Amino acid sequence: MSRYFTEDHEWVDVDGDTGTVGITDYAQGQLGDIVFVDVPDEGKTFAKGDDAAVVESVKAASDIYAPVSGSVIEGNAALGDTPGLVNEDAEGEGWMFRLTLSDPGELDGLMDEAAYEAFVAKL
């Protein structure tokens, strides 16, 4: 499995043609305590960069963008009852949704972990 990152602080784990999407630990730290997460419904399709989910915290509401194009196969239902999972484990159990990638070539435009860490260090 490979993990890629966007400049908007989303990550996508890719396993075959399936991607699991969430926000980075850096992003959840900037948002503060997360009180609500709206994940997309199964079957919804996105182009890379589309608004895909919404995270609301005590500080602000933020759009989560699709890091790659694809069709949603699952939203993380656990976030409906426990949105704080994003604060506790943003890059694990706090994932937002899974999708089937429609253009794996889009991954070439994303950062690997080392590049993302260097990006965040400059912020």
- pLDDT tens for the chain, 123 residues long, are 799 999 999 999 999 999 999 999 999 999 999 999 999 999 999 999 999 999 999 999 999 999 999 999 999 999 999 999 999 999 999 999 999 999 999 999 999 999 999 999 999
Quote the pLDDT of residue 121. Answer: 97
For 18-55, give the secondary structure using H, E and C: EEEEEECHHHHHHHCCEEEEECCCCCCEECCCCEEEEE
For the chain, report the end-to-end CA distance as a whole number of angstroms. 28
* The predicted structure's pLDDT at residue 4: 98
Q: What are phi and psi of 32, to 5 degrees?
A: 85, -160
Q: Which domains are assigned to the chain?
A: 2-96 (2.40.50.100)
What is the model's pLDDT at position 1?
A: 78
pLDDT attached to residue 11: 98
What does the pLDDT read at residue 2? 95
pLDDT value, residue 70: 98
